[in-house]
Amino acid sequence: MSKFVSDKIRRKSGARLAAVQATYMIAYGQLPVDEVIKDFVEGKVGRYVIEEDNVTESEEMIEVSPIDAAYFENLVRGVHAKKQDLEKSLAHYLNEKWSFERMNGTMQALLLCAVYELTATMDVDTKVLIQEYVDLAYAFFTKNEPKMVNALLDQIAHAVRV
């Protein structure tokens, strides 16, 4: 794989992580979509993540890869524009144990972005999308959440991508 292709893939992965963070900020910070997008694209927020070292029990700020700004903006705007439809769609696939309303904000943002991409970006391979969001779930959660994300997105993909 060429350096250009791998850089492009990293930028899209970075855009997905940033979109989950931005979707959370918009929903729970009640911030304007345009302002949040601008802050991420300009690098004012979302530039670093905390990496924990379990051996030394220390934390370090690590700079994240650059993002595909256009992909990020399209994703955030798309999720925001279709949020109610996405929530209804998710509610259809979830049970009482995993109801959308009972999930924490990070999981809600992750699922909204994932379902939007599954339904709106048919040019991206289904397996790639699911794996990207499962990897994000592992980055944010440590229990059964990543397995739930995998199963849920697989079920939705089978329904919306024939």
Any idea where the domains of the chain sit in the sequence? Answer: 3-160
Domain 3-160: assigned CATH number: 1.10.940.10
Contact 19, 75 (CB under 8 A): yes
DSSP state of 100: G
How distant, in Å, are the alpha carbons of 33, 98, 121 from that of 30? Answer: 9, 24, 27
Give me the pLDDT at residue 12, please.
Answer: 92
pLDDT given for residue 17 in this prediction: 93
Specify which residues 50 forms β-bridges with: 61
Residue 65 carries which DSSP code?
P
pLDDT, residue 45, reads: 81
State the pLDDT at residue 52.
73
- Which ranges of the chain have pLDDT less than 70? 1-5, 47-50, 63, 162
Q: What is the pLDDT of residues 39-79, one digit of tens each?
A: 999 888 876 666 777 778 787 777 677 899 999 999 999 99
- The per-residue pLDDT for 110 is 97
Q: Is 64 helix (H, G, I), strand (E, B) or coil?
A: coil
